[in-house]
A and B are shown apart, each in its own frame.
Chain A
Amino acid sequence: MIALFLAVMHSKIIKTIVVITTIVYNFVYCFSLIQSEREMQPKNLKTMQTIIHRANTRGHANHGWLDTNHTFSFAHYYDPARVQFGMLRVLNDDVVDGGKGFGTHPHDNMEIISIPLSGDLEHKDSMGNTAVIRENDIQILSAGTGIYHSEYNKNIDKKVNFLQIWVFPKERDIAPRYDQKTFNPEDRVNKLQVVVSPSKESEGVWINQDAWFSLGNFKKDFQTSYSINQKGNGLYAFVLEGDVTIQDQKLNKRDGFGVWDIDAITIKADSDAQLLLMEVPMN
């Protein structure tokens, strides 16, 4: 009896050991598989992130002389979900009545880019600059330690429509600076034309930030791609005219689309279209 009891117990102990060994083996095997799969993947591989801001969801304000749409929170339009895209803080689509404009007012520590889409804008600032910017011009104001300026519609009988874009500076309290350049629209037909860049040698106007802006005028069905200049930057696309598809996202006039955690994007013109691309640091 004792021999039989011992034999049964021995058999149970062996079975238990086998079961435990099998469980431990399977666990170690699965863990090593997961580990090896992880090692095979490229490091820092992230999933593309996107955000869309449809044209009709922008904050709107009509001040009589100024009819404006804010892609991001501005003045008394405040939506905590739409404060900025990385270092891109303001994207205002302003229409100003003939002869009217923004009286002299100060700024500091902001990169302010103005892009006239139609009409003429007269600029005056405390550095003594007086200039008129027109369609195909890009103006930049590095406010730095502080600057005063005014922007008026140059024409009495015609509205001016321009984009007012603000980017947080890379460095605070730099000496204020003003620049403007005229770009040839032929150089952006079915290609991207750099109009803002952090490189002083580039054709674009210089910005105190690791940011690149490009314009493109695309014929229907034209396709291209855009590669991020600086790793970690995001890209915000704003459709000026027509319809485009970016990374399978269909966009229409004045829609905004932000993409980040990606190295390059694809662009397709679904109609004749004009596009502004703004590459900015995400933090």
Chain B
Amino acid sequence: MEAHILVIGRHPEIMDVILRLINGENGWHATGALTNEKALELFNDNNFDLVLIGGGVDEESLNDLANHFKNKNPAIKIVKHYGGGSGLLFNEIQEALNK
């Protein structure tokens, strides 16, 4: 399944791992943002199917970003990621895309 995924996190090394793992999957394309500003910029300029919120993103930022994303694209799927590029990553994405 083709999917464009925006990953938002605060930890550069974990971000690298997550991007590498997602982009290693056939049909999945991930782009990362380490700041809210970058995330908003990327979201406004691209069509994403899913937003993955990684570690370090506080509740206030998360709510602000989610509101912005939902306003721009009500169908966007937003998932809190747990595990940091672990064996759960594929499951989380698959679950969200299947909903």
- Residue positions of A touching B, CB distance < 8 A: 73-76, 78, 80, 83, 89-90, 105-110, 143-146, 148, 166, 168-169, 172-173
Contact = CB atoms under 8 A, between A and B. Distances in A.
A173 B94 contact: no
Contacts of B54: 108
Contacts, number: 73
Interface of B: 10-11, 13-14, 17, 54-56, 58, 80-88, 90-91, 94-95, 98
Contacts of A166: 83, 88
Interface core residue of A75, A166, A172 (most chain B CB under 10 Å):
A172
Given A80-B95, A80-B98, A146 B90 contact: no
B14 A73 contact: no
B55 A109 contact: yes
Contacts of A108: 11, 14, 54-56, 82-84
The secondary-structure label for the interface of chain B is: loop
Given A83-B91, A83-B95, A108-B14, A146 B56 contact: yes
B88 A89 contact: yes
Contacts of B90: 75-76, 78
B13 A168 contact: no
Nearest to B94: A78
The 4 A-B residue pairs with the shortest CB-CB distance in the complex, in nearest-first order: A108-B55, A108-B84, A75-B87, A107-B84
Contact of A146 (B84, B87, B98): B84
Contact of A109 (B13, B82, B94, B95): B82
Contacts of B95: 80, 83
18 contacts: A78-B91, A80-B98, A107-B83, A107-B84, A107-B85, A108-B11, A108-B83, A143-B83, A143-B84, A144-B55, A145-B56, A146-B14, A146-B84, A148-B13, A166-B88, A172-B55, A172-B80, A173-B56
Given A105-B85, A166-B88, 12 more contacts: A74-B87, A80-B98, A105-B17, A106-B17, A108-B54, A108-B56, A108-B83, A110-B86, A143-B84, A146-B56, A172-B55, A172-B80
A83 B88 CA distance: 10
The secondary-structure label for the interface of chain A is: loop
Contact of A110 (B13, B82, B98): B82
B11 A145 contact: yes
Contacts of A89: 82, 88
A173 B55 contact: yes
A175 to B, nearest CB: 12
Contacts of B91: 73-74, 78, 83
Contacts of B94: 78
A89 B89 CA distance: 12
A173 B98 CA distance: 28
Contacts of B10: 145
Nearest to A166: B83
